[in-house]
């Protein structure tokens, strides 16, 4: 679809039923009915950045910070493998405590468990990404957040849009399966810029795209901004599936936070991946990127059972493979 077609569909809700069904059909035809589960470990909520939307920004003094060290990360990973996960996702704030050597040690240990490994730890240099890749990391998630350069730089004090884009192209060049995505509902974000986001995903030839509605956090500069619209986020996701039939698209946690059935609706509108939390319960409430996150009181086993039941209830199955993108 070209930009005008994207804008047309994004601004007209009368075509929503068609859009969601079409994205579901294209998902079924290209990536099938299996859902890939990725076990998410939120291993540090310490962050040096100031993203205006995020509760982990360093200026927020109201949250208790934590770091999970190597041995505990490995034991959480082993538990996830025992629960049947074939991919581990390590996510954190931009926390310089985990330097390249520490990260590479963790990567090598996890890769001994015969799983795919995804990192989501922010902007690093080319050489740092290279070291992570050589240590065995398979995938990297780094959302562009928005392709509106001026909005990007307003939302990210002291950060550069060009560097964000360069990081993504570096990850691609290094052979990572590269994931990106955007927030829907940032202040002053336009429909046109959401259309540009979808075109950017295609231009990058991203392997994974995560779309999340923005949810305001009271300890951030965006505390009084309205939350993003669940249905608009779902439309951006469905259009992404139509434009990129063979990629992996998660039904995001933020979608379920805004709609109690959000992940299942997303799985029926183009998504084929879910990322349940496998962090131990004691840390979950502290990884408060936005309020009312789901699963805060649940343990890894509970989330696994819960999501499996939901997926089966809509006639889908859980993949027993690592779930790399199969390019068509
Ligand atoms: N620090 C890494 C980074 O920023 O890429 C990874 C962790 S960060 C918490 C993961 C994602 O959380 C971001 O890409 C952002 O889109 C999302 N996020 C942060 N604050 C949010 C909010 N208030 N509402 C919805 N999503 C949010
Ligand atoms: Fe830090 Fe990521 Fe939150 Fe930005 S979005 S403040 S980089 S954890
Ligand atoms: Fe965590 Fe449902 S996925 S309780």
Atom 20 in ligand 1: residue holding the nearest Cα: 54
Please report which ligand is nearest the Cα atom of 303.
3
Q: Distance (Å, rounded) from C-alpha 82 to C-alpha 277?
A: 14
List the beta bridge partners of residue 258: none
Q: What is the pLDDT of residue 228?
A: 98
Ligand 2 proximal residues by C-beta, below 6 Å: 47, 49, 51, 54, 56-57, 93-94, 122, 289
How many beta carbons lie within 10 A of that of residue 296, not counting itself? Answer: 13
pLDDT at 195: 98
Task: Give the DSSP letter string of 121-176.
Answer: -----HHHHHHHHHHT--EEE---B-S-HHHHHHHSTT--HHHHHHHHHHHHHTT-
pLDDT tens per residue across span 144-190: 999 999 999 999 999 999 999 999 999 999 999 999 999 999 999 99
**C-alpha 53 – ligand 2 centre gap (Å):** 9
Could you report the per-residue pLDDT of 119-129, keeping only the tens digit for each? 999 999 999 99
pLDDT score for 319: 98
Partners of 33 in the β-ladder: none
- Token pair, residue 220, equals 């951030």
Token output for 142: 């780094």
Ligand nearest to the CA of 222: 1
Asked whether 303 lines ligand 3 (CB < 6 A), one says: yes
CA-to-CA separations, 193 to 17, 72, 121, 146, 208, in angstroms, rounded: 23, 41, 25, 8, 20
Domains of the chain (ranges; CATH) run 3-318 (3.20.20.70)
Per-residue pLDDT, 186 = 98
**Interval between CA 51 and ligand 2 midpoint (Å):** 6
Rounded CA gap, 151 and 186, in Å? 9
**How far is CA 18 from each of CA 1, 9, 117, 197, 239, rounded to the nearest angstrom?**
15, 10, 36, 22, 11
Tell me the C-alpha distance between 235 and 6, whole Å.
10
Averaged pLDDT of the chain:
98
Q: Is the pLDDT of residue 328 over 90?
A: no
81 or 328, greater pLDDT = 81
Q: Separation of 253 CA from ligand 3 center, angstroms?
A: 10
Reported confidence tier of residue 295, pLDDT bands at 50, 70, 90: very high
Q: Is the pLDDT of residue 84 over 90?
A: yes
Integer Rg of the chain from CA: 18
Closest CA to 316 of 68, 28, 61: 28
Question: Does residue 207 carry a pLDDT above 90?
Answer: yes
Q: Which atom of ligand 3 is nearest to the CA of 303?
A: 1
Residue with tokens 């001994």: 112
91 membership: H or E segment, kind and range: strand 87-92
| Rounded distance from Cα 302 to ligand 3 centre (Å) | 6
Q: Is 62 exposed, middle or buried (0-12, 13-18, 19+ CB in 10 A)?
A: exposed
pLDDT (tens digit per residue) in 236-265? 999 999 999 999 999 999 999 999 999 999
pTM of the model: 0.98
222 with 216: CB under 8 angstroms?
Answer: yes
What pLDDT, on the 0 to 100 scale, is given for residue 126?
98
- Ligand 2 centre to CA of 190 (Å) is 22
* Cβ pair 203, 11 in contact under 8 A: no
Distance 117 CA to ligand 2 centre (A): 20
What backbone torsions phi and psi does residue 213 show, to the nearest 5 degrees? Answer: -70, 140
Give the ligand with the smallest distance to the CA of 145: 1
Q: How far apart are CA 267 and CA 309, in angstroms?
A: 14
Residue bearing the CA closest to ligand 3, atom 4: 303
Q: Tens digits of per-residue pLDDT, 34-72?
A: 999 999 999 999 999 999 999 999 999 999 999 999 999
| H or E element in which residue 36 lies | strand 34-37
């Amino acid at each position: 679809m070209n930009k005008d077609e994207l804008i047309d569909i994004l601004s007209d809700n009368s075509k929503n039923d068609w859009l969601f069904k079409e994205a579901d059909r294209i998902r079924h035809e290209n990536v099938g009915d299996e859902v890939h589960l990725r076990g998410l470990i939120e291993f540090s909520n310490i962050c040096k950045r100031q993203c205006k939307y995020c509760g982990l920004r360093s200026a927020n003094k109201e949250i208790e910070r934590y770091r999970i060290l190597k041995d505990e990360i490995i034991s959480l990973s082993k538990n996830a493998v025992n629960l049947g996960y074939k991919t581990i996702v390590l996510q954190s704030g931009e926390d310089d405590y985990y330097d390249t050597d520490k990260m590479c040690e963790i990567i090598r240990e996890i890769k001994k468990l015969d799983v795919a490994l995804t990192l989501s730890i922010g902007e690093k240099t080319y050489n740092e990404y290279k070291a992570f890749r050589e240590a065995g990391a398979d995938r990297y998630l780094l959302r562009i957040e928005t392709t509106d350069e001026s909005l990007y730089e307003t939302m990210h004090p002291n950060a550069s849009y060009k560097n964000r884009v360069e990081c993504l192209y570096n990850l691609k060049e290094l052979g990572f399966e590269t994931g990106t995505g955007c927030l829907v509902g940032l202040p002053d974000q336009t429909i046109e810029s959401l259309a540009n986001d979808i075109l950017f995903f295609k231009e990058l030839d991203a392997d994974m795209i995560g779309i999340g509605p923005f949810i305001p956090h009271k300890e951030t500069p965006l505390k009084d901004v309205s939350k993003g619209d669940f249905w608009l986020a779902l439309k951006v996701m469905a259009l992404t599936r139509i434009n990129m039939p063979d990629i992996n698209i998660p039904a995001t946690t933020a979608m379920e936070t805004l709609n109690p059935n959000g992940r299942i609706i997303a799985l029926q509108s183009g998504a084929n991946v879910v990322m349940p939390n496998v962090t131990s319960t004691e840390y979950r409430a502290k990884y408060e990127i936005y309020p009312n996150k789901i699963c805060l009181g649940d343990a890894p086993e509970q989330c696994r059972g819960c999501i499996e039941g939901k997926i089966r209830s809509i006639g889908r199955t859980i993949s027993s493979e690592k779930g790399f993108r199969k390019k068509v």
